[in-house]
Structure 1
Amino acid sequence: MDWSGHRRYLPAVGFSLLLLVTSLLPVPEGASEQVPVLLGVALDKWVHAASYGVLAVLLAWGRRARNVVAVAVLVAVSVCYGAGVELLQGLVPSRGTSGADFVANAAGAVLAGLAWLAAHRSGALSDRTDPQSRQ
Protein backbone atom coordinates (compact mmCIF):
# COMPACT_ATOMS: atom_id res chain seq x y z
CA MET A 1 0.00 0.00 0.00
CA ASP A 2 1.31 3.43 -0.97
CA TRP A 3 1.02 5.78 2.02
CA SER A 4 2.43 8.85 0.25
CA GLY A 5 -1.05 9.96 -0.88
CA HIS A 6 -2.44 9.52 2.62
CA ARG A 7 0.08 12.01 4.01
CA ARG A 8 -1.94 14.78 2.40
CA TYR A 9 -4.62 14.13 5.03
CA LEU A 10 -2.26 14.74 7.97
CA PRO A 11 -3.10 18.46 8.27
CA ALA A 12 -6.82 17.59 8.41
CA VAL A 13 -6.22 14.87 10.99
CA GLY A 14 -4.05 17.17 13.10
CA PHE A 15 -6.56 20.00 12.90
CA SER A 16 -9.46 17.69 13.76
CA LEU A 17 -7.58 16.53 16.86
CA LEU A 18 -6.93 20.16 17.81
CA LEU A 19 -10.66 20.87 17.43
CA LEU A 20 -11.52 17.87 19.59
CA VAL A 21 -9.12 18.77 22.39
CA THR A 22 -10.04 22.46 22.51
CA SER A 23 -13.75 21.62 22.35
CA LEU A 24 -13.54 19.28 25.32
CA LEU A 25 -11.54 21.55 27.61
CA PRO A 26 -13.55 22.80 30.60
CA VAL A 27 -14.86 26.36 30.31
CA PRO A 28 -14.23 28.75 33.20
CA GLU A 29 -17.36 29.74 35.08
CA GLY A 30 -19.01 32.85 33.63
CA ALA A 31 -16.96 32.79 30.42
CA SER A 32 -20.01 32.24 28.21
CA GLU A 33 -21.56 35.49 29.50
CA GLN A 34 -18.60 37.54 28.20
CA VAL A 35 -18.71 36.54 24.51
CA PRO A 36 -18.50 39.62 22.26
CA VAL A 37 -20.81 40.08 19.27
CA LEU A 38 -19.69 40.65 15.67
CA LEU A 39 -22.30 41.72 13.10
CA GLY A 40 -25.08 40.60 15.40
CA VAL A 41 -23.66 37.10 15.88
CA ALA A 42 -21.76 35.91 18.94
CA LEU A 43 -18.05 35.69 18.20
CA ASP A 44 -17.89 32.04 19.23
CA LYS A 45 -20.28 31.15 16.37
CA TRP A 46 -17.87 32.80 13.91
CA VAL A 47 -15.06 30.72 15.41
CA HIS A 48 -17.14 27.55 15.04
CA ALA A 49 -17.92 28.35 11.40
CA ALA A 50 -14.31 29.19 10.59
CA SER A 51 -12.97 26.10 12.32
CA TYR A 52 -15.20 23.63 10.50
CA GLY A 53 -14.68 25.54 7.27
CA VAL A 54 -10.95 25.06 7.68
CA LEU A 55 -11.50 21.35 8.36
CA ALA A 56 -13.58 20.98 5.18
CA VAL A 57 -10.90 22.75 3.12
CA LEU A 58 -8.11 20.65 4.60
CA LEU A 59 -10.05 17.50 3.75
CA ALA A 60 -10.70 18.74 0.20
CA TRP A 61 -7.02 19.57 -0.17
CA GLY A 62 -6.04 16.13 1.12
CA ARG A 63 -8.40 14.45 -1.33
CA ARG A 64 -7.51 16.89 -4.11
CA ALA A 65 -11.25 17.11 -4.60
CA ARG A 66 -12.44 18.97 -7.66
CA ASN A 67 -15.96 17.70 -8.31
CA VAL A 68 -19.17 18.51 -6.48
CA VAL A 69 -19.78 14.99 -5.19
CA ALA A 70 -16.33 14.60 -3.64
CA VAL A 71 -16.50 18.03 -1.98
CA ALA A 72 -20.06 17.36 -0.74
CA VAL A 73 -18.92 14.11 0.88
CA LEU A 74 -16.01 15.87 2.59
CA VAL A 75 -18.29 18.67 3.78
CA ALA A 76 -20.62 16.00 5.19
CA VAL A 77 -17.65 14.43 7.00
CA SER A 78 -16.86 17.82 8.55
CA VAL A 79 -20.48 18.35 9.57
CA CYS A 80 -20.73 14.87 11.11
CA TYR A 81 -17.46 15.37 12.95
CA GLY A 82 -18.81 18.65 14.32
CA ALA A 83 -21.99 16.90 15.43
CA GLY A 84 -19.95 14.22 17.19
CA VAL A 85 -17.86 16.80 18.99
CA GLU A 86 -21.01 18.64 20.07
CA LEU A 87 -22.40 15.41 21.51
CA LEU A 88 -19.14 14.72 23.34
CA GLN A 89 -19.32 18.19 24.89
CA GLY A 90 -22.43 17.04 26.68
CA LEU A 91 -20.19 14.76 28.74
CA VAL A 92 -18.03 17.67 29.98
CA PRO A 93 -19.53 19.21 33.14
CA SER A 94 -18.82 22.86 32.24
CA ARG A 95 -19.94 22.40 28.62
CA GLY A 96 -23.04 21.18 26.90
CA THR A 97 -24.41 20.30 23.50
CA SER A 98 -25.54 23.27 21.45
CA GLY A 99 -27.75 23.29 18.41
CA ALA A 100 -26.56 26.80 17.55
CA ASP A 101 -22.94 25.62 17.60
CA PHE A 102 -23.87 22.69 15.34
CA VAL A 103 -25.54 25.05 12.86
CA ALA A 104 -22.46 27.30 12.89
CA ASN A 105 -20.21 24.27 12.31
CA ALA A 106 -22.35 23.12 9.40
CA ALA A 107 -22.64 26.58 7.87
CA GLY A 108 -18.88 27.04 7.97
CA ALA A 109 -18.22 23.66 6.36
CA VAL A 110 -20.80 24.22 3.61
CA LEU A 111 -19.61 27.74 2.81
CA ALA A 112 -16.00 26.60 2.71
CA GLY A 113 -16.93 23.71 0.41
CA LEU A 114 -18.71 26.11 -1.93
CA ALA A 115 -15.73 28.47 -1.87
CA TRP A 116 -13.39 25.55 -2.62
CA LEU A 117 -15.48 24.55 -5.63
CA ALA A 118 -15.78 28.14 -6.85
CA ALA A 119 -12.03 28.66 -6.59
CA HIS A 120 -11.36 25.51 -8.59
CA ARG A 121 -14.02 26.29 -11.18
CA SER A 122 -12.50 29.72 -11.75
CA GLY A 123 -9.03 28.22 -12.07
CA ALA A 124 -7.70 30.15 -9.08
CA LEU A 125 -6.49 26.96 -7.40
CA SER A 126 -5.89 24.72 -10.40
CA ASP A 127 -2.71 22.72 -10.51
CA ARG A 128 -2.14 21.77 -14.12
CA THR A 129 1.09 19.91 -13.34
CA ASP A 130 -0.64 17.42 -11.05
CA PRO A 131 -2.26 14.52 -12.93
CA GLN A 132 -4.58 13.85 -9.96
CA SER A 133 -5.95 17.40 -9.94
CA ARG A 134 -8.78 16.42 -12.28
CA GLN A 135 -10.51 14.25 -9.65
Structure 2
Amino acid sequence: MQPPIQHWLVLNTNHIRFLRIYGPAVVWGIFILIATLTPGRSLPSSSLFRFDKLIHVIIFGVFAWLVLRALYLSGRLTPENSFRIYILVASVTIVFGIAIELMQQLIPDRGADINDVIANTTGIILAQLIFYFTHRKKQV
Protein backbone atom coordinates (compact mmCIF):
# COMPACT_ATOMS: atom_id res chain seq x y z
CA MET A 1 0.00 0.00 0.00
CA GLN A 2 1.31 3.45 -0.95
CA PRO A 3 1.73 6.12 1.71
CA PRO A 4 -0.78 8.96 1.51
CA ILE A 5 0.35 12.04 -0.41
CA GLN A 6 0.61 15.09 1.77
CA HIS A 7 -2.02 17.63 0.72
CA TRP A 8 0.44 20.53 0.70
CA LEU A 9 2.66 18.68 -1.77
CA VAL A 10 -0.06 18.30 -4.36
CA LEU A 11 -0.11 20.99 -7.04
CA ASN A 12 -3.63 21.72 -8.13
CA THR A 13 -4.59 23.84 -11.12
CA ASN A 14 -4.55 27.04 -9.03
CA HIS A 15 -0.97 26.38 -7.94
CA ILE A 16 0.11 25.62 -11.48
CA ARG A 17 -1.59 28.77 -12.77
CA PHE A 18 0.08 30.85 -10.05
CA LEU A 19 3.51 29.40 -10.88
CA ARG A 20 2.97 29.91 -14.61
CA ILE A 21 1.98 33.54 -14.10
CA TYR A 22 4.25 34.68 -11.26
CA GLY A 23 7.05 32.10 -11.47
CA PRO A 24 9.14 33.83 -14.15
CA ALA A 25 9.22 37.13 -12.21
CA VAL A 26 10.09 35.37 -8.94
CA VAL A 27 12.83 33.27 -10.55
CA TRP A 28 14.27 36.34 -12.29
CA GLY A 29 14.24 38.28 -9.00
CA ILE A 30 16.14 35.44 -7.31
CA PHE A 31 18.59 35.39 -10.23
CA ILE A 32 19.20 39.14 -9.75
CA LEU A 33 19.83 38.62 -6.03
CA ILE A 34 22.30 35.81 -6.63
CA ALA A 35 24.08 37.62 -9.48
CA THR A 36 24.42 40.91 -7.63
CA LEU A 37 25.15 39.66 -4.12
CA THR A 38 27.73 37.03 -4.96
CA PRO A 39 31.20 38.17 -3.86
CA GLY A 40 33.36 38.98 -6.84
CA ARG A 41 35.90 41.30 -8.31
CA SER A 42 34.66 44.87 -8.36
CA LEU A 43 34.25 46.43 -11.76
CA PRO A 44 35.51 49.98 -12.17
CA SER A 45 32.62 52.25 -13.05
CA SER A 46 33.92 55.60 -14.20
CA SER A 47 31.18 56.10 -16.78
CA LEU A 48 27.46 55.43 -16.82
CA PHE A 49 27.63 53.99 -20.32
CA ARG A 50 29.97 51.11 -19.65
CA PHE A 51 28.98 47.55 -20.52
CA ASP A 52 28.29 46.91 -16.82
CA LYS A 53 25.58 49.57 -16.87
CA LEU A 54 23.96 48.05 -19.95
CA ILE A 55 23.69 44.76 -18.06
CA HIS A 56 21.93 46.60 -15.22
CA VAL A 57 19.51 48.19 -17.70
CA ILE A 58 18.73 44.80 -19.21
CA ILE A 59 18.35 42.70 -16.05
CA PHE A 60 16.16 45.24 -14.25
CA GLY A 61 14.20 45.94 -17.42
CA VAL A 62 13.46 42.25 -17.82
CA PHE A 63 12.45 42.08 -14.15
CA ALA A 64 10.00 44.99 -14.43
CA TRP A 65 8.60 43.54 -17.66
CA LEU A 66 8.07 40.11 -16.05
CA VAL A 67 6.31 41.69 -13.05
CA LEU A 68 4.01 43.64 -15.38
CA ARG A 69 3.43 40.48 -17.45
CA ALA A 70 2.41 38.60 -14.30
CA LEU A 71 -0.03 41.32 -13.28
CA TYR A 72 -1.42 41.47 -16.82
CA LEU A 73 -1.91 37.70 -17.08
CA SER A 74 -3.47 37.55 -13.62
CA GLY A 75 -6.03 40.19 -14.60
CA ARG A 76 -4.79 42.67 -11.99
CA LEU A 77 -3.53 45.12 -14.63
CA THR A 78 -6.66 46.66 -16.11
CA PRO A 79 -7.31 49.91 -18.00
CA GLU A 80 -8.95 51.32 -14.86
CA ASN A 81 -5.94 50.79 -12.61
CA SER A 82 -3.05 50.74 -15.08
CA PHE A 83 -1.53 54.06 -13.98
CA ARG A 84 -1.55 52.95 -10.35
CA ILE A 85 -0.07 49.53 -11.22
CA TYR A 86 2.71 51.06 -13.34
CA ILE A 87 3.63 53.45 -10.50
CA LEU A 88 3.54 50.59 -7.97
CA VAL A 89 5.71 48.30 -10.12
CA ALA A 90 8.19 51.11 -10.78
CA SER A 91 8.36 51.98 -7.08
CA VAL A 92 8.82 48.40 -5.88
CA THR A 93 11.39 47.43 -8.51
CA ILE A 94 13.38 50.66 -8.03
CA VAL A 95 13.42 50.13 -4.24
CA PHE A 96 14.54 46.53 -4.89
CA GLY A 97 17.45 47.86 -6.97
CA ILE A 98 18.38 50.42 -4.31
CA ALA A 99 18.23 47.76 -1.58
CA ILE A 100 20.57 45.53 -3.58
CA GLU A 101 23.04 48.39 -3.97
CA LEU A 102 22.95 48.99 -0.22
CA MET A 103 23.42 45.28 0.50
CA GLN A 104 26.41 45.17 -1.86
CA GLN A 105 28.30 47.34 0.62
CA LEU A 106 28.34 44.32 2.94
CA ILE A 107 29.66 41.91 0.27
CA PRO A 108 33.43 41.45 -0.25
CA ASP A 109 34.66 43.06 -3.48
CA ARG A 110 31.31 44.77 -4.02
CA GLY A 111 30.12 48.27 -3.35
CA ALA A 112 27.18 50.58 -3.85
CA ASP A 113 27.18 52.69 -6.99
CA ILE A 114 24.68 55.45 -7.75
CA ASN A 115 25.25 54.83 -11.48
CA ASP A 116 23.98 51.27 -11.00
CA VAL A 117 20.80 52.68 -9.43
CA ILE A 118 20.41 55.04 -12.40
CA ALA A 119 20.95 52.17 -14.85
CA ASN A 120 18.48 49.93 -12.96
CA THR A 121 15.88 52.70 -12.98
CA THR A 122 16.45 53.38 -16.68
CA GLY A 123 15.88 49.70 -17.48
CA ILE A 124 12.71 49.65 -15.37
CA ILE A 125 11.25 52.74 -17.04
CA LEU A 126 12.17 51.54 -20.55
CA ALA A 127 10.58 48.14 -19.88
CA GLN A 128 7.42 49.78 -18.62
CA LEU A 129 7.20 51.95 -21.73
CA ILE A 130 7.73 48.94 -23.99
CA PHE A 131 5.15 46.92 -22.06
CA TYR A 132 2.64 49.78 -22.17
CA PHE A 133 2.98 50.37 -25.90
CA THR A 134 2.83 46.65 -26.75
CA HIS A 135 -0.16 45.92 -24.47
CA ARG A 136 -2.24 49.10 -24.43
CA LYS A 137 -4.64 47.97 -27.18
CA LYS A 138 -5.16 44.66 -25.38
CA GLN A 139 -6.04 46.49 -22.15
CA VAL A 140 -8.81 48.60 -23.71
Using the size of structure 1 for normalisation, the TM-score is: 0.77
Query: Who is 2:43 aligned against?
Result: 32
Query: Who is 2:36 aligned against?
Result: 23
Shift of 1:115: 1.2
Q: Deviations over 1:75-131 (max 9, x none)?
A: 22111111111111010120001100011001110111111111112x3xx3xxxxx
2:67 pairs with 1:52:
no
Q: Is the 8 Å Cα contact of residues 75 and 109 (structure 1) preserved in structure 2?
A: yes
Larger Rg: 2
- Give the length in aligned residue pairs: 118
Range with greater deviation from structure 2 (52-61 or 2-11): 2-11
Distance 2:49 2:71 in 1: 32
Note the residue ranges of structure 1 that are not aligned, 5 or more in a row: 127-132
Shift of 1:5: 5.3
Note the residue ranges of structure 2 that are not aligned, 5 or more in a row: 1-13
Identical aligned residues as a percent: 27
